[in-house]
Structure 1
Amino acid sequence: MSLQPFHLAIPVYDVPLARAFYRDVFGLEEGRSADTWVDFNFYGHQLVIHNHPKTPDQEHATTNPVDGHDVPVPHFGIVLEWGQWEALAERLKSFDTKFVIEPYVRFKGQVGEQATMFLLDPCGNALEFKAFKDMSLLFAK
């Protein structure tokens, strides 16, 4: 599957703290930057953190129930290959990451079975990382 890279700019109220999180915890490569923003290579996509006052979503996340868990909304993330997802889960655990939803396999034995995990960045932005053993099931009903 060949995809065009997306560009996503998110608000952070502490650029140095968020910069260290995305660079050190995730190991993302930095691109261009200024005092108020930083570009990151987010698995081939462009993620930009921008200085911005704390938003209501960062203060108190809304959730929706999915497979018995409270999924934070809004959230963003990436669909990884299964091995990448497992490696990221281990990396995050090695940094003593506090997960909103611990790494697990949801919809087990159903169409759409997937590995998933949710966490917050230091500024309260919710992230989800998921993987499918069979990527052809990404949009399966």
Structure 2
Amino acid sequence: MEKKLAPFHLAIPVNNLEVSREFYRDILGCEEGRSSDIWVDFNFFGHQLVIHYKEEINKEVKSNPVDGKEVPIPHFGVVLSMDEFIQLSKKLKNKNINFIIDPYIRFQGETGEQATMFFYDPSGNALEFKAFKNIDQLFAN
């Protein structure tokens, strides 16, 4: 029996609710759910993402070196199919998203080969999107 991953719930702070709402809805294409004057729910690729207004956000940028690139921490994102990843990366390039790490292939020809990209939302939250050549290797050693 194939094990299915359960959807996650994530709540993040944003310093401008309307700009962030437009980013997640119009740039990433996330369907908007419930909302109030201080938060908005989104269907974040099958997961629940809630953006909460917070006037000041800690902007201290931290990173770890990975593959000679500085990967921002903390960050969040999702694993897409390779086709979805390619379509999203093209869409983001067409919308002039400033990538922290441009879309590229890691571990090429090895176990866990994957496409990945990083960028910030308007409030400085780092996002990573990735896709595996073989999804069965998602948790491979």
1:68 corresponding residue in structure 2: 68
1:14 corresponding residue in structure 2: 16
Deviations 1:49-76 (A, max 9, x none): 00113322xx132000111110000000
Q: In structure 1, what is the Cα distance between the partners aligned to 2:103 and 2:132?
A: 13
In 2, are the aligned partners of 1:67 and 1:107 still within 8 Å (CA)? no
Q: In structure 2, what is the Cα distance between the partners aligned to 1:78 and 1:137?
A: 15
Unaligned runs of 5+ in 1: none
Partner SS for 2:64 = strand
State whether structure 2 residue 89 is matched by structure 1 residue 89: yes
What are the equivalent positions in structure 2 for 1:1-141 lying under 5 Å apart?
1-56=3-58, 59-141=59-141
In 1, are the aligned partners of 2:64 and 2:70 still within 8 Å (CA)? yes
Deviations 1:96-123 (A, max 9, x none): 0000000000122222211000000000
Q: In structure 1, what is the Cα distance between the partners aligned to 2:137 and 2:67?
A: 17
Q: What amino acid does structure 2 have at the position aligned with 1:68?
A: G
Cα drift, residue 3 of structure 1: 2.2
Percent identity between matched residues is 57
Q: In structure 1, what is the Cα distance between the partners aligned to 2:133 and 2:113?
A: 8
Unaligned runs of 5+ in 2: none
Query: After the TM superposition, which parts of structure 1 deviate over 3 Å for at least 4 consecutive aligned residues?
Result: none
Q: What amino acid does structure 2 have at the position aligned with 1:80?
A: L
Task: Tell me the TM-score normalised to structure 2 length.
Answer: 0.95
Task: Tell me the TM-score normalised to structure 1 length.
Answer: 0.95
Q: What amino acid does structure 1 have at the position aligned with 2:106?
A: R
Cα drift, residue 17 of structure 1: 0.6
Q: What amino acid does structure 2 have at the position aligned with 1:105?
A: I
Partner SS for 1:48 = strand
Partner SS for 2:41 = strand
